[in-house]
Copies of this chain bind each other. A is one copy, B any other.
């Protein structure tokens, strides 16, 4: 019995390509559905109960990480494998946190993908060595950070940081969050302190590097 796969990706050409590819390995995998948005992915996961969902991150309406979170909460038996072009570490970490069973890049080879899918249904994580290495480092760094007493950013600070990265001035940020510019400065100072940065420009590049911003192109 082939592995039942749901493909969630907003690029129709990519979906069609994957379907065409998987048709060459009908013994192993069977695409039982496609979703174009995160919303659709959640609905189809409920209706079709696939074994595995190949989920992109950038999708309209609801991104793949949010969709994965919802699906994993309701159907933990479904293995969700993020299949994306994003090499942002932040996306990887978030994927792990929302319960993804794997994180693969679209630069992967099709045969490797098939191999990893075989493992996934028996509970193995689907990821390349490079990705696994990143996770290890992250865990190690997290421990080091904890010992150092380094603090994570609060929700509010993350929000401010995202806006800073978008190029917004403190005044604009204040208006968007309906708070005073003094508060924005206060948050920003806290951000710079926690991340050991010197100015908003460094904060912006930090945010980009760690995938805290979601550009709608790529």
Which A residues fall within an 8 A CB radius of B?
10-14, 16-18, 20-21, 23-24, 58, 83, 85-88, 91, 105-110, 113, 164-167, 169, 197-202, 204-205, 207-209, 213, 215-218
Chain B residue, CB-CB nearest to A113: B13
A204 cross-chain contacts in B, Cβ below 8 A: 201, 204-205, 208
24 A-B residue pairings within 8 Å (CB atoms):
A11-B105, A11-B106, A12-B109, A13-B21, A13-B83, A13-B108, A13-B110, A14-B106, A16-B17, A16-B109, A20-B21, A58-B218, A85-B218, A87-B216, A88-B217, A164-B201, A165-B201, A165-B205, A166-B205, A167-B199, A167-B205, A204-B205, A205-B207, A209-B215
Q: Would you call B218 and A209 a contact (CB within 8 A)?
A: yes
How many subunits of this chain does the assembly comprise? 2
With a CB–CB cut-off of 8 A, which chain B residues contact A86?
Answer: 217-218
- Cβ B12 vs Cβ A16 within 8 A: no
